Structure 1
Amino acid sequence: MTFHALDVGSGDDGRWAAHAQALWPIAEGWMSEESRTADGEIRARRLFEEHMPELVPVLDRLAGQLDTPGGSTFLTHANLRPFFSGCMQIGSDGTLLRNYDLSPEGCEGAIVRSDFLRPVIGMQEALWGLLDGMNDAGLAASLTFGGRFVHGPGFAIPIVMRYLLETCDTVDQAIDRLSSIPIGIPQNVTFVDRNSAATVFTGPDIPVTRAPDACAANHQHLAVPDEQEQSSRTQERLSAIRRAGTDVEAALKPPLYLSDYDKWLGTIYTARYRPTEGRVTYFWPSESWEQSFGDFAEGTRTVTIGRV
């Protein structure tokens, strides 16, 4: 699988647009029927303005660069089609470690440094959202699917991750802000800053709720059905995360490292964020790639995923 590292700056000089235009045929497929209507466009814009006002100028700047019918509505990430994945994550002692699990064709594979409102580095999804990332204040965050197949009105989580990292400095501030944002499907979000780490459960049918500790797999406050547990092994992986902590070697081995790519449960990458250092390293079984605010290197890496 090929990963790209891109510095898109403030998004107004064509670098972001060149990448986004190439992905637009795929991204457009995420749009729901509602989001393709005039009324859906209006509702998406109003929802974004209400909950992410600081990002409205960035949205308009990027939409102008994308210059594609439906592009502005898509970039709100409001009422997109739901998607479900795997993943695990843990925060401890200033470190955030996560595995991102999906099918390879479903991952954008773009490590992006941006300066929209502030410096942010993360794994991009859906053109400007984030699967995980960190900001220059020393805050890092990542997401996992919450394991419950329910869907409601609200945002796709990647844009919310972007918003929180663009506007928050601490774990507590991010959780407080997340509590007022409607989320379309159940998600678990883990935050790490200089002094603390926490995981919260969120979704369209529950309030934001702190987890017992700063780690998550693919369930929330309720156990998943037996068949789902057998395929995702979420309880087993959560127990393994708690035992291993932020050990990268453990994350690169079963049961934390998954290989069911045809079932959208294969590990695409492992990321270790050290946000107070402004540093992230992406790992695969035989390779790693470090990036930082002080030394961000654009380029391309083709890596082997899966365990041989």
Structure 2
Amino acid sequence: MSHYVKTFHAVEIGDGGDGRWAERVRPAMEDAEHWLTEEGRTPEGAARARRLFEEHMPELIPTLDRLSAQLASPRAGTLLTLAAVRPFFSGCTQIGTNGTLLRNYDFAPEHCEGTIVSSHFLRPVIGMQEAGWGLLDGMNDAGLAVSLTFGGRYVHGRGFALPIVLRCLLETCRTVDEAVARLRTLPIAIPQNVTLVDPHRTVTVHVGPDIPLTETPDSCAANHQHLPVPDEQERVTRTRTRLAAVQAAGADVAAMLRPPLYQYAYDAWLGTVYTAQYLPGEGRVTYYWPGQDWAHSFAHFAPGTRTITLGRPSEPDDRRHTPALT
């Protein structure tokens, strides 16, 4: 078991045009071209990514252009479409119930951006930023919250990475029903599970390049879509165990902060980096770590930093698994 010291940032960026967004993301984004697929690095691939974005997310084209213009890389515009990026695979558990979205994000701490962003591109949005302007989870001022987990199957197709899809849903939709309808129209690059919550409805759906959008019986998800889960996958990820645990616990923050939902396999890219509880009807979110929390809202966003020590040496985890980044 290794310890990781992770600094989380909370930043207000407005519409992204005054330099605050660029100042925060420029160092990481200009070293991120390795996330592009081989096709995405070609002029033809870049053009295809742009056309896909224009077709499916036309409302966000002005924001895409405004942001990419602030980065020096000639491939910034392609990268920010998130329509030509290599797949990445993570852990995570999430549940929606009674107007609450609760999730654990499990990944390699050094590869999680760790930036909580308050933005106003098309409307006010607060969420955990990923890949420049995508979101791992977030909420908007209309009372909609969304979150993602990896779907557990290693397939890849032409389409968008989920962080930009979550951004699109929060920028353009007011309700779960609107967001699910929009999600049905978007091509998705890898299998993902999405939980959506508003004050009146909660749902989890499975999406991916090889399946139609499918609503689940329960509004929760871990890291599988279809049963049975292979024994080796369960040994590594404990996805069935975590799903059963979150089904039993409901939206209980304390349960999320202890095993089996809270994971310590950081060296295996499967440790819990943060817990987030969204109350979108109230416009509030709190990020949790054992013994610490950090609250934000549309009324009182709190820019600053928090440095967290992750890891628990007293109970080592002997799993050895590094997700394929291909």
* Shorter-normalised TM range: over 0.9
CA distance in 2, matches of 1:230, 1:180: 35
Residues 128, 138 of structure 2: 8 Å contact kept:
yes
2:218 to 198, 208, 213: 213
Alignment of 1:1-308 (within 5 A): 1-307=6-312
State the AA in 1 paired with 2:99: G
How far is the alpha carbon of 1:24 from its aligned partner?
A: 1.8
Contact 1:27 1:127 in 2 (8 A): no
Q: TM-score, normalised by structure 2?
A: 0.93
Amino acid across the alignment from 2:86: R
1:303 alignment partner, SS class:
strand
Given that residues 285 and 306 in structure 1 are in contact (C-alpha distance below 8 angstroms), is that contact kept between their aligned partners in structure 2? Answer: no
Letter in 1 for 2:162: I
C-alpha distance in structure 2 between counterparts of 1:52 and 1:223, whole Å = 35
Contact map agreement 1:85 1:102 (CA 8 A) in 2: yes
Which is worse superposed, 244-253 or 26-35?
26-35
Gaps of 5+ in 2: 1-5, 314-326
Letter in 1 for 2:257: L
Cα distance in 1 between the residues matched to 2:300 and 2:163: 25
CA drift at 1:264: 0.9
| RMSD between aligned residues | 0.9
Report the Cα distance in structure 2 between the residues aligned to 1:7 and 1:306, rounded to whole angstroms. 29
Q: What do residues 183-238 of structure 1 show as CA deviations (whole Å, max 9, x unaligned)?
A: 11000000000101000000000000001110000001233211011111111100
Q: TM-score, normalised by structure 1?
A: 0.98
Aligned residue for 1:18, secondary structure, equals helix
Structure 1: which amino acid aligns with 2:160? Answer: F
Amino acid at match of 2:114: G
Compute the displacement of 1:306 (Å). 3.0
Q: Give the superposition deviation at 1:29.
A: 2.0
Task: Tell me which amino acid in the other structure corresponds to 1:228.
Answer: Q
Structure 1 segments of 4+ aligned residues over 3 angstroms from their partners: none
What is the rounded CA distance, in whole Å, between the counterparts of 1:166 and 1:117 in structure 2? 6
**1:22: Cα distance to partner?**
1.5
Give the partner amino acid of 1:22. P
Q: Retained in 1: the 8 A contact 2:30–2:71?
A: no
Give the match for residue 317 of structure 2.
none
For 2:261, give the aligned amino acid: L
Q: Using the alignment, how far apart are the partners of 1:253 and 1:223 within structure 2?
A: 26
Instruction: Write the distance in 1 (CA, Å) between the matches of 2:32 and 2:163.
Output: 13
AA at the equivalent of 2:101: L
